[in-house]
Amino acid sequence: MSVITAGTTGGIQFTNDPTGNLYLQYSTGTNGITLSTTGAIGIGASPSYGTAGQALVSNGSGSPPSWGSAGTTAGKAIALDLTFGFLK
């Protein structure tokens, strides 16, 4: 597919890539995000794709996300409440 690199002086650069993946790179040429041909999202220079049940978790302002626990218990309770009115 393609490589998209953020440029500091020349703007955004586009490069063809024979793997079929789409790479979003920092201006240094280091991969930040990889979108694979299967739709998987990879994070980092040597893309980490996480494991089943993980979600991208914020590491705070100015830091890249990482794969981790999604903390789904509260989310499920809120979703059930919004859908069925369980929490009262």
pLDDT per residue as tens digits for the range 30-83: 888 888 889 899 998 899 999 988 888 888 888 888 898 876 545 555 555 555
Q: Is the pLDDT of residue 21 over 90?
A: no
pLDDT for the residue 58: 85
| Tens of pLDDT, residues 29-39 | 888 888 888 98
pLDDT (average), residues 14-22:
82
CA atoms of 9 and 12, how far apart (whole Å):
9
Domains in the chain: boundaries:
1-49, 54-88
Give the per-residue pLDDT at 69.
83
User: How deeply is 36 buried, as exposed, middle or buried, from its count of CB atoms within 10 A (0-12, 13-18, 19+)?
Assistant: middle
